[in-house]
Amino acid sequence: MSTKDSACKIVYLSRNPKPKDTFVSLWHFTNSLRSPASKGPNSLQEAFDKFCRAVSLYGPYWDHVLGYWKESLENPQRVLFLKFEEMKEQPTAHLRKVAEFLGCPLSPEEEAKGVGDDILRLCSFDNMSNFEVNKSGKLSSGEENSKFFRQGEVGEWMNHLTDEMIEKLGRITQEKFHGTELKF
């Protein structure tokens, strides 16, 4: 059964425009999964070239984003499309949006008691990444849970991408999203 055929609700969290942070995070993540017996980490340029050609661990980035964005327009009761950078800027507003989407809006009493703030604190990157299971646990396939946590911040791309890479990602994104109303 695919997610398209499922009755489950999906909260889709997309990363930034011209997927700069998405690419850098994916590069770090895939390098963290490479075994010591492999030839070492993928170079940034090699990984970038593959990403731009839509050769990726999780499939073509732009098709993935567009697919969920379109689905969120066609079935807003099933798919909530959010943007990571906006969530980081306005966490309380996004918490309310997710709670309402899931059918669990905060009551005025809960709001007054600070339940929303408690949820944000409990779901923060720092808190989630420090759970023992996320520091020492492993997937059944052997990957360490800690590899799924790195920084949880916006802007890491500035430390890695060249001007040419930024321009190319922008050009591809503009081409792929042309004719849609999806804006970042």
Which amino acid makes up residue 53? R
Asked if residue 73 is part of any domain, the answer here is: yes
> What DSSP letter does each residue of 117-168 carry, written as one string?
HHHHHHTSHHHHHTSHHHHH-B-TTS-BGGGG-S---S-GGGGT--HHHHHH
Is the per-residue pLDDT at 16 higher than 70?
A: no
CATH number at residue 30: 3.40.50.300
Give per-residue pLDDT as tens, 27-69.
767 776 666 566 656 777 888 888 888 887 777 888 989 999 9
Residue 109 has pLDDT above 80, yes or no: yes
In a domain, 95, yes or no: no
> Where is pLDDT greater, at 139 or 24?
24
Rounded Cα distance between 1 and 30, Å, is 27
Is 24 a member of any domain?
Answer: yes
CB count within 10 Å of CB 173 equals 20
Is there a domain that residue 64 lies in? yes
Residue at 115 is within a domain: no
Is residue 183 in a domain?
A: no
Local confidence band at 183 (pLDDT 50, 70, 90 cut-offs): confident
Please give the distance of CA 63 from its chain centroid, rounded to a whole number: 14
Model confidence band, residue 143 (pLDDT cutoffs 50, 70, 90): low
Predicted confidence at residue 135, as pLDDT, reads 58
Confidence at 146, pLDDT banded by 50, 70, 90 = low
Supply 163's token pair.
């001007």
State how many domains the chain has.
Answer: 1
Q: Which domain holds residue 46?
A: 10-89+124-161
**Which of 16-25, 96-105, 152-161 has the weakest average pLDDT?**
152-161
Burial (CB count within 10 angstroms: exposed 0-12, middle 13-18, buried 19+), residue 184:
middle
Examine residue 96 and state whether it is found in any structural domain, yes or no: no
